Chain A
Protein backbone atom coordinates (compact mmCIF):
# COMPACT_ATOMS: atom_id res chain seq x y z
CA UNK A 1 0.00 0.00 0.00
CA UNK A 2 1.19 3.49 -0.75
CA UNK A 3 -0.01 7.02 -0.11
CA UNK A 4 -0.39 9.29 -3.10
CA UNK A 5 -1.55 12.84 -3.51
CA UNK A 6 -5.00 12.83 -5.09
CA UNK A 7 -6.76 16.16 -5.45
CA UNK A 8 -4.59 17.77 -2.78
CA UNK A 9 -4.95 15.09 -0.10
CA UNK A 10 -2.72 12.17 0.81
CA UNK A 11 -4.78 9.06 0.14
CA UNK A 12 -3.94 5.40 0.51
CA UNK A 13 -4.12 3.40 -2.73
CA UNK A 14 -3.39 -0.25 -3.46
CA UNK A 15 -0.63 -1.42 -5.80
CA UNK A 16 -2.95 -1.03 -8.77
CA UNK A 17 -3.89 2.54 -7.82
CA UNK A 18 -7.42 1.83 -6.50
CA UNK A 19 -8.29 3.82 -3.37
CA UNK A 20 -8.43 1.69 -0.24
CA UNK A 21 -11.13 3.53 1.71
CA UNK A 22 -14.17 4.33 -0.46
CA UNK A 23 -15.27 6.97 2.07
CA UNK A 24 -12.42 9.34 1.25
CA UNK A 25 -13.72 9.67 -2.31
CA UNK A 26 -14.86 13.04 -3.59
CA UNK A 27 -14.99 14.74 -6.97
CA UNK A 28 -11.47 16.11 -6.68
CA UNK A 29 -10.16 12.64 -5.93
CA UNK A 30 -12.11 11.28 -8.91
CA UNK A 31 -10.60 13.92 -11.15
CA UNK A 32 -7.10 12.96 -10.01
CA UNK A 33 -7.81 9.24 -10.48
CA UNK A 34 -9.19 9.95 -13.97
CA UNK A 35 -5.87 11.36 -15.10
CA UNK A 36 -4.23 8.01 -14.25
CA UNK A 37 -6.73 6.14 -16.46
CA UNK A 38 -6.38 8.00 -19.77
CA UNK A 39 -9.29 10.33 -19.00
CA UNK A 40 -7.71 13.80 -19.03
CA UNK A 41 -11.01 15.65 -18.66
CA UNK A 42 -14.14 14.50 -16.87
CA UNK A 43 -17.13 15.44 -19.05
CA UNK A 44 -20.76 15.45 -17.95
CA UNK A 45 -21.11 11.96 -19.40
CA UNK A 46 -18.11 10.72 -17.42
CA UNK A 47 -19.65 12.06 -14.20
CA UNK A 48 -22.98 10.44 -14.99
CA UNK A 49 -21.34 7.02 -15.31
CA UNK A 50 -19.03 7.48 -12.34
CA UNK A 51 -21.84 8.63 -10.03
CA UNK A 52 -24.03 5.79 -11.21
CA UNK A 53 -21.27 3.28 -10.43
CA UNK A 54 -20.80 4.75 -6.98
CA UNK A 55 -24.48 4.67 -6.11
CA UNK A 56 -24.82 1.14 -7.37
CA UNK A 57 -21.78 -0.02 -5.40
CA UNK A 58 -22.98 1.65 -2.20
CA UNK A 59 -26.32 -0.12 -2.56
CA UNK A 60 -25.21 -3.59 -3.67
CA UNK A 61 -21.52 -3.83 -2.76
CA UNK A 62 -20.58 -5.00 -6.27
CA UNK A 63 -19.94 -3.31 -9.61
CA UNK A 64 -22.95 -3.44 -11.98
CA UNK A 65 -23.16 -5.50 -15.15
CA UNK A 66 -22.10 -3.52 -18.21
CA UNK A 67 -25.64 -3.95 -19.61
CA UNK A 68 -27.12 -2.15 -16.61
CA UNK A 69 -24.45 0.53 -16.75
CA UNK A 70 -25.22 1.23 -20.40
CA UNK A 71 -29.01 1.08 -20.06
CA UNK A 72 -29.27 3.17 -16.91
CA UNK A 73 -26.86 5.88 -18.04
CA UNK A 74 -27.99 5.86 -21.70
CA UNK A 75 -24.39 5.48 -22.84
CA UNK A 76 -23.98 2.79 -25.47
CA UNK A 77 -21.33 0.09 -25.16
CA UNK A 78 -18.96 1.41 -27.79
CA UNK A 79 -19.12 4.90 -26.39
CA UNK A 80 -18.55 3.56 -22.86
CA UNK A 81 -15.17 2.26 -24.00
CA UNK A 82 -14.43 5.57 -25.69
CA UNK A 83 -15.20 7.43 -22.47
CA UNK A 84 -13.09 5.03 -20.42
CA UNK A 85 -10.29 3.69 -22.66
CA UNK A 86 -9.00 1.36 -19.93
CA UNK A 87 -12.46 -0.17 -19.68
CA UNK A 88 -15.35 -0.05 -17.24
CA UNK A 89 -13.86 -2.70 -14.95
CA UNK A 90 -10.56 -0.97 -14.42
CA UNK A 91 -10.89 2.66 -15.46
CA UNK A 92 -14.45 3.58 -14.57
CA UNK A 93 -14.48 1.58 -11.33
CA UNK A 94 -11.19 3.13 -10.22
CA UNK A 95 -12.37 6.67 -10.89
CA UNK A 96 -15.60 5.96 -9.00
CA UNK A 97 -13.64 4.79 -5.97
CA UNK A 98 -14.66 1.13 -6.21
CA UNK A 99 -12.20 -1.68 -5.49
CA UNK A 100 -10.91 -3.58 -8.52
CA UNK A 101 -13.47 -6.23 -9.47
CA UNK A 102 -12.27 -9.80 -8.96
CA UNK A 103 -11.95 -12.31 -11.81
CA UNK A 104 -10.06 -12.32 -15.11
CA UNK A 105 -10.13 -8.54 -15.56
Chain B
Protein backbone atom coordinates (compact mmCIF):
# COMPACT_ATOMS: atom_id res chain seq x y z
CA UNK B 1 0.00 0.00 0.00
CA UNK B 2 1.07 3.56 -0.65
CA UNK B 3 2.55 5.92 1.92
CA UNK B 4 0.65 9.15 2.52
CA UNK B 5 0.24 11.95 5.07
CA UNK B 6 -2.72 13.21 7.07
CA UNK B 7 -3.13 16.80 8.23
CA UNK B 8 -4.78 17.77 11.48
CA UNK B 9 -8.25 17.61 9.97
CA UNK B 10 -7.79 14.50 7.85
CA UNK B 11 -6.40 12.46 10.73
CA UNK B 12 -9.69 12.84 12.60
CA UNK B 13 -11.17 10.27 10.23
CA UNK B 14 -8.67 7.70 11.46
CA UNK B 15 -8.25 8.64 15.10
CA UNK B 16 -11.39 8.74 17.27
CA UNK B 17 -9.89 10.78 20.13
CA UNK B 18 -10.78 14.46 20.36
CA UNK B 19 -9.62 17.48 22.36
CA UNK B 20 -8.50 17.42 25.11
CA UNK B 21 -7.35 13.85 24.58
CA UNK B 22 -6.16 13.91 21.00
CA UNK B 23 -2.39 13.72 21.42
CA UNK B 24 -1.24 13.90 17.79
CA UNK B 25 -1.39 16.92 15.48
CA UNK B 26 -0.10 15.63 12.20
CA UNK B 27 0.73 12.34 10.51
CA UNK B 28 3.73 12.96 8.27
CA UNK B 29 3.91 9.46 6.84
CA UNK B 30 1.70 6.45 7.19
CA UNK B 31 1.93 3.14 5.40
CA UNK B 32 -1.22 1.25 6.42
CA UNK B 33 -0.47 -1.86 8.42
CA UNK B 34 3.24 -1.06 8.51
CA UNK B 35 4.10 2.25 10.22
CA UNK B 36 2.90 5.73 11.12
CA UNK B 37 4.99 8.78 11.96
CA UNK B 38 4.13 12.33 12.90
CA UNK B 39 4.17 14.80 15.74
CA UNK B 40 2.45 16.86 18.36
CA UNK B 41 3.52 20.46 18.83
CA UNK B 42 3.59 21.41 22.48
CA UNK B 43 2.81 24.99 23.43
CA UNK B 44 2.47 26.47 26.87
CA UNK B 45 -1.27 26.46 26.27
CA UNK B 46 -1.60 22.68 26.57
CA UNK B 47 -4.20 21.94 29.24
CA UNK B 48 -1.86 19.70 31.24
CA UNK B 49 1.14 22.00 31.64
CA UNK B 50 -0.32 24.32 34.29
CA UNK B 51 -1.20 21.33 36.46
CA UNK B 52 1.73 19.03 35.69
CA UNK B 53 3.44 20.73 37.39
CA UNK B 54 3.05 24.33 38.57
CA UNK B 55 6.48 25.88 38.11
CA UNK B 56 7.89 22.80 36.36
CA UNK B 57 5.67 22.05 33.38
CA UNK B 58 6.33 18.79 31.52
CA UNK B 59 4.20 16.43 29.52
CA UNK B 60 2.79 13.60 31.66
CA UNK B 61 4.28 10.23 30.80
CA UNK B 62 0.82 8.73 30.46
CA UNK B 63 0.05 11.26 27.73
CA UNK B 64 3.35 10.61 25.95
CA UNK B 65 2.39 6.95 25.87
CA UNK B 66 -1.09 7.89 24.70
CA UNK B 67 0.44 9.85 21.83
CA UNK B 68 2.45 6.80 20.75
CA UNK B 69 -0.63 4.58 20.97
CA UNK B 70 -2.73 7.06 18.98
CA UNK B 71 -0.12 7.14 16.22
CA UNK B 72 0.08 3.35 16.15
CA UNK B 73 -3.71 3.32 15.90
CA UNK B 74 -3.49 5.37 12.70
CA UNK B 75 -1.26 2.71 11.17
CA UNK B 76 -4.13 0.26 11.66
CA UNK B 77 -7.23 2.37 11.09
CA UNK B 78 -5.89 3.42 7.68
CA UNK B 79 -6.13 -0.19 6.54
CA UNK B 80 -9.10 -0.89 4.26
CA UNK B 81 -12.30 -1.35 6.27
CA UNK B 82 -10.91 0.03 9.53
CA UNK B 83 -11.58 3.73 9.03
CA UNK B 84 -13.42 5.24 11.97
CA UNK B 85 -13.19 2.13 14.13
CA UNK B 86 -12.54 2.50 17.84
CA UNK B 87 -9.39 0.96 19.29
CA UNK B 88 -8.61 -0.12 22.84
CA UNK B 89 -5.31 -0.59 24.60
CA UNK B 90 -4.54 -4.09 25.84
CA UNK B 91 -1.02 -3.87 27.14
CA UNK B 92 1.74 -1.27 27.02
CA UNK B 93 5.28 -1.42 28.35
CA UNK B 94 6.96 1.95 28.36
CA UNK B 95 10.27 3.53 29.28
CA UNK B 96 10.73 7.25 29.76
CA UNK B 97 14.10 8.84 29.01
CA UNK B 98 13.70 12.58 29.45
CA UNK B 99 11.22 15.33 30.23
CA UNK B 100 9.07 16.65 27.42
CA UNK B 101 8.69 20.41 27.75
CA UNK B 102 6.50 23.30 26.53
CA UNK B 103 7.74 24.68 23.22
CA UNK B 104 9.09 21.36 22.00
CA UNK B 105 7.95 19.28 19.06
CA UNK B 106 7.11 15.78 20.20
CA UNK B 107 7.97 13.58 17.23
CA UNK B 108 6.52 10.10 17.10
CA UNK B 109 7.52 7.01 15.18
CA UNK B 110 5.51 3.81 15.41
CA UNK B 111 5.84 0.47 13.74
CA UNK B 112 3.40 -2.40 13.40
CA UNK B 113 5.03 -5.69 14.32
CA UNK B 114 1.91 -7.73 13.66
CA UNK B 115 -1.74 -7.16 12.82
CA UNK B 116 -3.99 -10.15 12.91
CA UNK B 117 -7.66 -10.74 13.75
CA UNK B 118 -8.14 -7.44 15.48
CA UNK B 119 -4.94 -7.34 17.49
CA UNK B 120 -2.01 -5.09 16.70
CA UNK B 121 1.38 -5.55 18.32
CA UNK B 122 3.66 -2.61 17.78
CA UNK B 123 6.49 -0.40 18.90
CA UNK B 124 6.75 3.35 19.23
CA UNK B 125 9.25 6.03 20.10
CA UNK B 126 8.81 9.66 21.03
CA UNK B 127 11.57 12.19 20.35
CA UNK B 128 12.34 15.77 21.30
CA UNK B 129 15.29 17.64 19.84
CA UNK B 130 16.34 14.46 18.07
CA UNK B 131 16.68 12.45 21.28
CA UNK B 132 14.49 9.61 22.49
CA UNK B 133 12.10 10.81 25.17
CA UNK B 134 10.15 7.59 25.53
CA UNK B 135 9.63 4.24 23.88
CA UNK B 136 7.01 1.58 24.25
CA UNK B 137 5.92 -1.82 23.09
CA UNK B 138 2.17 -1.77 22.68
CA UNK B 139 -0.72 -4.10 22.05
CA UNK B 140 -3.92 -2.49 20.85
CA UNK B 141 -7.11 -3.96 19.53
CA UNK B 142 -10.11 -3.09 17.47
CA UNK B 143 -12.71 -4.82 19.66
CA UNK B 144 -15.28 -4.93 16.87
CA UNK B 145 -12.96 -7.20 14.86
CA UNK B 146 -11.52 -9.17 17.77
CA UNK B 147 -14.98 -10.15 19.06
CA UNK B 148 -15.77 -11.92 15.82
CA UNK B 149 -13.09 -14.51 16.56
CA UNK B 150 -13.79 -15.28 20.20
CA UNK B 151 -15.42 -18.44 21.53
CA UNK B 152 -18.90 -17.97 22.90
CA UNK B 153 -18.90 -18.13 26.68
B is bound to A: no
Which residues of B come within 8 Å of A, CB atoms? none
Which residues of A come within 8 Å of B, CB atoms? none
